[in-house]
Structure 1
Amino acid sequence: MVKSCAEFGSSVLLDINDGDRMTFARLHSTSTLKIGNTKCTLEALVGQPFGAVFEMQSERNSSKLVRMPNVSDVNGRNEKRQQIETDQDSEDVKDRDNRALVDDNKAQTLSSDDIDRMKRDGASGKEIIDALVANSASFETKTAFSQEKYMKKKQKKYAPRVLLRRPSARSICEAYFVKDPRKIGFCRMDTLALMMSLANVGPNSDILVLESLGGLITAAVTERLGGHGSICSTYYTTKRPPIDMVRLLNLDDATALSVLRAPLEKLVAARQSALRSKDQNGVGVAEREALAQALSTLEEPKNSTIGQNATDAVVNDSPSMAVEALSTETPVTESMDVDKETTNIISPAQNTTDGVVEDSQIKDMEAPSTEMSVKQNMDLDQKTSHSLPAEDREEDACELGDKEANPTAVGEGKASKGPRPGNEATSADIFKWANQGFSSLLVAAPELDAWTVVKQLIPLLSSSSPFVIYSPYQQPLAECMFQLQKNNMAIALQLTEPWCREYQVLPLRSHPHMQMSATGGFTLSGIRITNCV
């Protein structure tokens, strides 16, 4: 169930001064927020409903957040602003302009020492703003729009406001896209929504996700399913890439347990064994061949020069260069490190009861310790995150790099966290996915070649299942689209670039925002078909 109020231990999104800065925080009794040179505690946010607006008020020796009580204050308007809007239609205001204004720094008679004295005396932000307006020689000669801009500027400086927002897939994507879009692969919120729609993500579905965006796609899928269904976040490497953005959603126990993780080689091996039962009817031959090829690719030794050069070509250029690298290199025999817990994957020659893979066989499967050379191309932030403790990784995922608004949390008053999303998938889960297939596929790994990844993942889907691939670049998706058409693997293929523009809607000044992102990325969508020939 979605919580309507912030509680101890909850993750919250703090929107400071109407989107000027956004930062995440986990509420504890000693959590603090720094805005400019002023620091205040976040304890006042505990128990307050999401959507509440708070104003920072200075006291003699400290500052605190005070909730704005009514709708007019929430909209950032005081009596002076309401009077400005009332006078906008008067003839006197319409005849005003700014041609006579001279910026000589002499219009304001209130000095900085006077403002500091008011702060030490405990004056509120509203009182300081009213004093600035009263001592401004040019305020009354400005247009109504200029007056409102002046008021808004002073309000942000002397009485900053904080909007308490519930972390959601949209708000997380929006916050990271504004502050550090590189961490989410420059994926815009409208692109994320389009991916959820094209992949037909909904309750009672089994969704396969491969991403390197810090868990953004997994978080969006988890929010859509609401605990009804399962999400498998797969990965290539032996170390699981972080998906800490999922923890920002304040999930309940049932929803958190629906997020599972499994290595790709284990899913491919289980699916290959399950499809072996269809040989008697002449069905599944094409799928088994594709899975066998994918499995052989995943089992390349980590020290092999062939595998390293081929993967580098795939990541940096195209599949054709990978084939060329394989053909030009000389085979070299290298030793391979193996973990103590590594066991053999089910081979195609093994017998199964009634031609279906047994639960016990899948249970014995462990991910091979073979290190994918793709790991060498992983983002540096992901490598650093693996070496950090769990709590440090979470704070690193929550922080947007804003030194001026960096919430810190101490353990006092900490609530129980409950189940952590992203547990390892059980043998029963893999058995179900292997026999039924996934109902949807979402891929968002810009550092990997789209076609190389998709040709390994599509056989894991059931027939007529939708899939979506995201990339900030168009060319890799165009090549992948051509290969899918050439190999008769999918229909209804669409290469899309979503477009979004925000508008300001205010009286007599409605217009689109001038500074918007040029692109939010590209998506390739389609429906998987089975080639039985």
Structure 2
Amino acid sequence: MEPDAVPSTASVIRSGEYLIVQKPDGEQSRVVRFTPKQKILIEKLKFSADSVFGKPYGLFEVSNNQCTPMSVDRLIEELHQQEAPVATSLGDSETTTSEVTDSIDPRLVIAPSALKLEPEQKRQKLEMDAVLEMKKQGISGQELVAKLVQGSASFQTRTVFSQSKYIKRKAKKHNDRVLILRPTIRLLAKAYYLKDPDRLAMLRADQLALMLQMAGVHHGKNIIVFEQTLGLITSAVMERLGGKGACVHIHRGAVAQSIPCVHSMNYSESTLSTFLPVRIKCLLAGSQLPYDTNRRPVNEEDGEDNENDEADKKNIDKLEDQDQEALSRRNDRLDREKQGLDIISEERAHSLIIGSRTVDPISILELMFPKLAPSSSIVIYSPHQNVLISAYEWLSKRPAINLMLSDQMCRVMQVLPDRTHPLMAQYVAGGHVLTGIKVIDQ
């Protein structure tokens, strides 16, 4: 359950939300923020974002750049059709092999080897122009696939397995349906992993689940996180906390950047209250914030208005409103940073999670390990094993027990009647996870 991803009363798609867009059995999965008058493109399927506002999440059918929700009755009817034999389900069951061969060019019948060497389009009676014209007229993907099968000169000569693969391949290419889903941690991990696994440090969803389990993340805990995984680890921790506890996000720079997974979850104010970003230079400087002495109240006036010129006064008021808004955000950021520094300095952190891609985990351990509470869990992830071996040796010389370095392999398998094989185009190897527990030094 994800009660705080979006309000529980929101059961329909709203403008400004981040959503997961993918085609059924598609190879892509995109994270898109839906705004008015926006055109969404996913695997050559294009539709308008305005057509889905106010409609429930789920499966949609695209026609003329407009989305229509799929009804349950229609899906059940199509499921029954798929269970029927291939020939009868496509409405061409009376076509025999001899009738199909009669319609083939005689030159191909004389030289069967030429049939294998010719491109597949040459064996298709339905021209590409006709396919494009039918798409413009709004024909459904299922009807288009049926016409392509009827126009195939070699369909009836195929085996049952080959016919099934042919239909699936054409349905995947001309599919006019799209899934619009509410973001979850698993869907975000899948989307960014498929898009660019290197930016995610090769972190898979199963390894992320292992990290959360070994770190003991649950309601009310104080977790320190340093990560380079686009905010995926931080977002997963915030979701687990459920509005109670603290996720102290250690980051470089003035503000926390490169955390799209946190913004994409559409978190409520209750969940966002647990997000406490802390700059590394503040940890090095101690409890004193670098610009804490320059803090000003939000309603403080910076100067006098020009009473003689009304136009200048309006411009000044507008600039002052913008300054006040920026000052309010800065003060809120300082308050959150102060809370995070207090948790670290008072040794109230229960776990430390490091998701490193280019930063040496030992540099973070040297800074944070002395400030962890006794019995705190330590979880370090990295796509490079040699980095974790060095961290293992570093922890073995400190008061830490139950040190364990592990890796996981995940491979997608296709399991169908009479044929089973792994998916060829996939990333098999991921990263490595180092876990341990801090104890009292005696």
TM-score (norm 2): 0.76
Within a 5 Å distance, the mapping from 1:126-141 to structure 2 comes to 126-141=142-157
The counterpart of 2:260, out of the listed 244, 249, 274, is 244
How far has the Cα of 1:187 moved from its partner?
1.0
Do residues 498 (structure 1) and 408 (structure 2) align?
A: yes
Q: Which residue of 2 aligns with 1:11?
A: 18
Is 1:65–2:81 an aligned residue pair?
no
* Change beyond 3 A, Cα 1:240–1:7: closer
SS of residue paired to 1:162 = strand
Distance 1:74 1:16, change over 3 A: farther
Which residue of the partner structure matches residue 86 of structure 2?
A: 84
Taking only the aligned residue pairs, the percentage that are identical comes to 32
1:427 and 2:338 correspond? yes
List per-residue Cα deviations over 1:107-159 (Å, max 9, x = no partner).
32122232233334443333322221222222122222222222222223333
C-alpha displacement at 1:201, in angstroms? 0.7
The correspondence of residues 21-170 of structure 1 with structure 2, limited to 5 A, is 21-35=28-42, 39-50=46-57, 52-57=58-63, 62-70=64-72, 73=75, 79=81, 82-84=84-86, 102=116, 104=118, 105=120, 106-170=122-186
Q: 8 Å contact 2:224–2:349 — kept in the other structure?
A: yes
Match of 1:276 in 2: none
Alignment partners' CA distance in 2, 1:122 and 1:268: 63
Asked if 1:523 is matched to 2:433, the reply is yes
SS for the counterpart of 2:264 is helix
Question: 1:339-372 CA deviation, whole Å, 9 max, x = no partner?
Answer: 7x3769xxxxxxxxxxxxxxxxxx99xxxxxxxx
Letter in 2 for 1:133: V
Q: Which runs of 4+ in 1 moved over 6 A?
A: none
Tell me the equivalent position of 1:304: none
* Alpha carbons 1:53, 1:74 under 8 Å: kept: no
Q: Is the 8 A contact 1:257 1:423 kept in 2?
A: no
1:451-530 correspondence to structure 2 within 5 Å: 451-486=362-397, 488-530=398-440
Question: 1:411 is matched with which residue?
Answer: none
Matches of 1:76 and 1:502, distance apart in 2: 27
Q: Is the 8 A contact 1:267 1:434 kept in 2?
A: no
SS at match of 2:116: coil
Assess, with a 3 A threshold, how the Cα gap between structure 1 residues 267 and 169 changes in structure 2: closer, same or farther: same
Displacement, 1:268? 6.1
Contact 2:223-2:248 within 8 A present in 1 as well? yes
Whole-angstrom CA distance in 2 between matches of 1:435 and 1:86: 72
Asked whether the 8 Å contact 1:270–1:431 carries over to 2, the reply is: no
5+ residue gaps, structure 2: 90-111, 297-328
Cα offsets for 1:46-68 (capped at 9, x unmatched): 34444x222322xxxx3322322
Q: Retained in 2: the 8 A contact 1:268–1:460? A: no
Within 2, Cα distance between the matches of 1:6 and 1:82?
36
| Separation in structure 2 between the aligned mates of residue 13 and residue 164 of structure 1, nearest angstrom | 6
User: 1:432 Cα shift?
Assistant: 4.3
Relative to its length, the structure with more strand (as a share) is: 2
Partner secondary structure for residue 436 of structure 2: strand
* 2:303 corresponding residue in structure 1: none
Q: Which has the higher contact order (CA 8 A, sep 6+)?
A: 1
What is the correspondence of 1:402-417 to structure 2 with a 5 Å cutoff? none
1:20 and 2:36 matched: no
Counterpart residue type for residue 354 of structure 2: V
* Residue type of the alignment partner of 2:41: K
Amino acid across the alignment from 2:383:
P
User: Retained in 2: the 8 A contact 1:469–1:524?
Assistant: yes
Residue 323 of structure 2: aligned partner: none
- Asked whether the 8 Å contact 1:259–1:423 carries over to 2, the reply is no
Instruction: Name the amino acid aligned to 1:185.
Output: A
Relative distance call for 1:80 and 1:185 in structure 2 (3 A) is: closer
| 3-state SS of 1:510 partner | strand
Report what 1:281 is aligned to.
none
Residues 410 and 428 of structure 2 are in contact (CA less than 8 Å); yes or no, is this contact kept in structure 1? no
Give a deviation string over 1:176-232, Cα, whole Å, max 9, x none.
Answer: 111111211111111111111111111110010011222111011111111121111
Measured after TM superposition, the shift of residue 429 of structure 1 is 5.0
Alpha-carbon distance change, 125 to 489 in structure 1, aligned in 2, over 3 angstroms: same
Deviation at 1:506, TM superposition (A): 2.6
AA at the equivalent of 1:506? L
Corresponding residue SS for 2:47: strand
How many residues in Structure 1 have an aligned counterpart in Structure 2? 376
2:225 aligned counterpart, secondary structure: strand
Residue pair 2:21, 2:42 contacting (<8 A) in 1 also: no
1:257 maps to 2:167: no
* AA at the equivalent of 1:67: P
Structure 1 residues 445 and 194: alpha-carbon distance in aligned structure 2, compared to 1, 3 A threshold: same
Cα distance in 2 for residues equivalent to 1:122 and 1:184: 39
Query: Which residue pairs with 1:386 in the alignment?
Result: none
The alpha carbon displacement at 1:237 in A equals 4.0
Partner Cα distance (2:16, 2:384) in 1: 38
Displacement after TM superposition at 1:466 (Å): 0.3
Determine which of 328, 341, 353 is the counterpart of 1:442: 353
In angstroms, what is the RMSD of aligned CA positions?
Answer: 3.3
Letter in 2 for 1:112: M
